[in-house]
Amino acid sequence: MVKSSPAPTSPAPASVPSAPQPTNPPEPLPETYEAALSELERLVGAMEAGQLPLDRLLDSYRRGASLLNFCRARLEAVENQVKVLEDGQLKPWNPT
Protein backbone atom coordinates (compact mmCIF):
# COMPACT_ATOMS: atom_id res chain seq x y z
CA MET A 1 0.00 0.00 0.00
CA VAL A 2 1.33 3.41 -0.97
CA LYS A 3 1.12 6.18 1.54
CA SER A 4 0.20 9.54 0.14
CA SER A 5 2.27 12.43 1.26
CA PRO A 6 0.57 15.53 2.53
CA ALA A 7 0.04 18.26 -0.02
CA PRO A 8 2.82 20.82 0.02
CA THR A 9 1.84 24.01 1.72
CA SER A 10 3.12 27.39 0.81
CA PRO A 11 4.31 29.67 3.55
CA ALA A 12 1.83 32.24 4.72
CA PRO A 13 2.37 35.55 2.96
CA ALA A 14 4.21 38.07 5.04
CA SER A 15 2.01 40.86 6.13
CA VAL A 16 2.87 44.13 4.47
CA PRO A 17 2.35 47.15 6.65
CA SER A 18 0.00 49.57 5.01
CA ALA A 19 0.98 53.15 4.46
CA PRO A 20 -0.16 55.45 7.24
CA GLN A 21 -3.37 57.18 6.38
CA PRO A 22 -3.72 60.91 6.87
CA THR A 23 -5.25 61.67 10.23
CA ASN A 24 -6.73 64.99 9.23
CA PRO A 25 -9.74 65.21 6.94
CA PRO A 26 -8.91 66.65 3.52
CA GLU A 27 -9.14 70.40 3.18
CA PRO A 28 -12.04 71.64 1.07
CA LEU A 29 -11.18 72.68 -2.46
CA PRO A 30 -11.03 76.39 -3.29
CA GLU A 31 -14.08 77.99 -4.86
CA THR A 32 -12.29 79.29 -7.95
CA TYR A 33 -9.77 78.10 -10.51
CA GLU A 34 -7.51 81.05 -9.72
CA ALA A 35 -7.43 80.29 -5.99
CA ALA A 36 -6.67 76.61 -6.67
CA LEU A 37 -3.89 77.49 -9.11
CA SER A 38 -2.34 79.94 -6.65
CA GLU A 39 -2.34 77.35 -3.85
CA LEU A 40 -0.94 74.72 -6.22
CA GLU A 41 1.91 77.05 -7.24
CA ARG A 42 2.77 77.69 -3.57
CA LEU A 43 2.77 73.94 -2.85
CA VAL A 44 5.01 73.17 -5.82
CA GLY A 45 7.44 75.89 -4.76
CA ALA A 46 7.65 74.52 -1.23
CA MET A 47 8.11 70.97 -2.50
CA GLU A 48 10.81 71.98 -4.99
CA ALA A 49 12.70 73.84 -2.27
CA GLY A 50 13.31 70.48 -0.61
CA GLN A 51 12.84 71.80 2.91
CA LEU A 52 9.65 69.91 3.84
CA PRO A 53 9.76 66.92 6.18
CA LEU A 54 8.73 63.64 4.58
CA ASP A 55 5.23 63.49 6.10
CA ARG A 56 4.51 67.08 5.12
CA LEU A 57 5.84 66.39 1.64
CA LEU A 58 3.41 63.50 1.23
CA ASP A 59 0.49 65.63 2.48
CA SER A 60 1.49 68.40 0.07
CA TYR A 61 1.66 65.92 -2.80
CA ARG A 62 -1.85 64.64 -2.04
CA ARG A 63 -3.21 68.18 -1.77
CA GLY A 64 -1.47 69.14 -5.00
CA ALA A 65 -3.00 66.17 -6.82
CA SER A 66 -6.47 67.22 -5.63
CA LEU A 67 -5.88 70.81 -6.71
CA LEU A 68 -4.57 69.68 -10.10
CA ASN A 69 -7.67 67.53 -10.68
CA PHE A 70 -9.88 70.47 -9.68
CA CYS A 71 -8.08 72.82 -12.10
CA ARG A 72 -8.29 70.32 -14.96
CA ALA A 73 -12.01 69.80 -14.35
CA ARG A 74 -12.65 73.56 -14.33
CA LEU A 75 -10.70 74.04 -17.57
CA GLU A 76 -12.59 71.20 -19.22
CA ALA A 77 -15.92 72.66 -18.10
CA VAL A 78 -15.03 76.06 -19.55
CA GLU A 79 -13.82 74.48 -22.79
CA ASN A 80 -17.13 72.62 -23.10
CA GLN A 81 -19.04 75.86 -22.55
CA VAL A 82 -17.00 77.56 -25.28
CA LYS A 83 -17.76 74.70 -27.67
CA VAL A 84 -21.47 75.09 -26.99
CA LEU A 85 -21.29 78.86 -27.47
CA GLU A 86 -19.47 78.41 -30.78
CA ASP A 87 -22.05 75.94 -32.11
CA GLY A 88 -19.93 72.91 -31.39
CA GLN A 89 -16.82 74.21 -33.17
CA LEU A 90 -13.90 75.41 -31.15
CA LYS A 91 -12.65 78.56 -32.88
CA PRO A 92 -9.43 80.46 -32.21
CA TRP A 93 -9.79 83.37 -29.84
CA ASN A 94 -9.17 86.77 -31.42
CA PRO A 95 -8.59 89.45 -28.75
CA THR A 96 -9.18 92.36 -31.16
| Structural domain includes residue 66 | yes
pLDDT, averaged across the chain: 80
Cβ atoms of 64 and 48 within 8 Å: the answer is no
Provide the residue range defining the domain that includes 82.
33-89
The reported pLDDT for the residue numbered 10 is 53
Read off the pLDDT of residues 40-78 as tens digits, 9 standing for 90 and up. 999 999 999 998 899 999 999 999 999 999 999 999 999
Handedness of CA 50, 55, 61, 66 (dihedral sign): negative
Nearest to 65 by CA among 38, 35, 44: 44
CATH number, domain at 64? Answer: 1.10.287.1040
Does residue 22 belong to any structural domain of this protein? no
AA letter at 38 = S
* Whether the predicted pLDDT of 37 surpasses 70: yes
Residue 28 lies in a domain: no
Q: Please give the Cα distance from 41 to 11 (Å, whole number).
A: 49
Domain count, the chain: 1
- Inter-residue contact 68 to 41 (CB < 8 Å): no
Query: What's the confidence (pLDDT) of residue 25?
Result: 72
Model pTM greater than 0.85?
no
